[in-house]
Amino acid sequence: MMIPADTLFEAAKRLHGHLLKTSWDGRALVGPDSGVRFNARVGRFVKSYLRAFPWTDNRIYMQAQGYWILDNWRMFELSGDERYQDIALACSHYVLTAQRPAGYWAYPDPEWRNRIATVEGDFGCLGLLESYQQTGQDALLAGAQKWHRYLIDDVGFQASDGMLAVNYFANVRGSKVPNNTTLTLLTLARLAGVTQDAQVLTPCAGMVAWLNEVQLESGELPYAVAASPDGRDRAHFLCYQYNAFELLDLVEYYQLTRDGAIVPVVEKLAAFVASGVTESGAASYDCEHQTPEVTYYAAALAAALSQATSLGAGDYRALADRGYRWILGQQKPDGGFRFHSRANYSFLSDRRAYPRNLAMILAHLLIEVQAQRTPITGGAQADKG
């Protein structure tokens, strides 16, 4: 039985209130993050078990700000409460002030100091685009277009036989990561829709062709594809989580562009993501293990399967509902969650609250609320390439 939109919206409002109280400083979402490398593997557990210690690891990710801006505009549209509009605009203006003159945003984690990540730029751009569309403030569109120029000229693409994969970092030719390409497809589609400039979509055919080429027989998009014949592929890494986010990107890309060439990827990808929902409703950690359980993974799978179902890419309604029930079961009365992850290394848990990941969960709750109140019209089958 489908969880009512009102139940999900109440959960979303509690989570929004939790973020306001714990992470919103009036300009940006600020707080700790699970991070990369050593912190992701070890450091975050030390900090979780020693939460009383005054850790100085607050970060401001553009990915968090992008989600937060989108979340607040959705809250405004669903409730009419102008408080959410004010928060979205305040955060958007912070994003503009944090943008470097060349058009990018610096990566906040010291373990990746001096790197310029495509994901950070895309999310900064997505937040600015949504606020421009809602308000018409020219400075917001100018900031989004600055990132677009930097993306094309400095981040760049790796090309082969007419196929394109966007680079993970600016001015670095490393492995080609599908997760970055799906997000960039969505970013370009939104920019083209806002500006009514079809030229923005020029790289999309090459990126869609590449995704069709590298998708595995299972439907999984690999984590990373070697950039050269002597490089190493990395097919599987946190398989279901990454693929759920990719599925969400591609469903929306299709909705915006009606590009039938992406439909086969979406259909196979949805079937793969569906296989990652456990009996409890949590998300399997990777292709080989069900645990650790991570809250934001489960929310991403639930939202992706719900959107794929609405699009007509398969019937995953029961699995999506199972995932949403699991997420609601982990929420505390204050709107936060009992854990970020549990059963790491079999016995460790991470009980810190990470605003970047909580903003993602909020987005995935609100996606379902909006979907129930304004169903997707027009399936994908007619546009299949």
φ, ψ at 157 (rounded to 5°): -130, 155
Higher pLDDT, residue 71 or 34 = 71
- pLDDT 10s digits, 179-226: 999 999 999 999 999 999 999 999 999 999 999 999 999 999 999 998
| pLDDT for position 37 | 78
Residue whose structure tokens are 């100091």: 113
Task: Locate the DSSP E strands across the chain.
Answer: 157-160, 163-166, 293-294, 341-344, 348-350
Q: What is the pLDDT of residues 141-156, one digit of tens each?
A: 999 999 999 999 999 9
- Taking residue 37's Cβ as centre, other Cβ atoms within 10 Å add up to 11
Residue that wins the pLDDT comparison between 51 and 71: 71
Question: What are the backbone angles phi and psi of residue 117, rounded to the nearest 5°?
Answer: -95, 135
- Give the pLDDT band (50/70/90) at residue 377: low
Domains of the chain, residue spans: 1-50+276-374, 61-155, 156-244
pLDDT in tens, 264-316: 999 999 999 999 999 999 999 999 999 999 999 999 999 999 999 999 999 99
Question: Measured between alpha carbons, how far is 158 from 209 in angstroms, rounded to an integer?
Answer: 13
Question: Of all residues in the chain, what percent carry a pLDDT higher than 70?
Answer: 96
CA pair distance 323, 281, nearest whole angstrom: 4
Q: 75: which 2 tokens?
A: 């809250």
Task: Quote the tokens at residue 263.
Answer: 């439909």
157: which 2 tokens? 């693409």
Q: What is the average per-residue pLDDT within 348-358?
A: 95
Q: How far apart are the first and last CA of the chain?
A: 34
Residue with tokens 């083209």: 192
**Token output for 21:** 């109280």
Has residue 382 got a pLDDT over 60? no
Residue 378 has pLDDT above 60, yes or no: no
Judged by DSSP in three states, 342 sits in strand
pLDDT of the residue at 320? 98
Average pLDDT of the residues of the chain: 94
Q: Are 69 and 127 in contact (CB under 8 A)?
A: yes
Is pLDDT above 80 for 135?
Answer: yes
pLDDT of 240 > 90? The answer is: yes
Cβ burial 326-360 (10 Å sphere, 16+ → b, else e): bbeebbeeebbbebbbbbbeeebbbbbbbbbbbbb
How does strand 341-344 pair with strand 348-350?
antiparallel
Gap between the Cα atoms of 106 and 77, Å rounded: 31
pLDDT at 134 over 80: yes
Q: Is the pLDDT of residue 231 over 80?
A: no
| Six token digits for residue 6 | 């009102």
Alpha carbon of residue 186 to chain centroid = 11
Q: How far from chain centre, in Å, is Cα 208?
A: 18
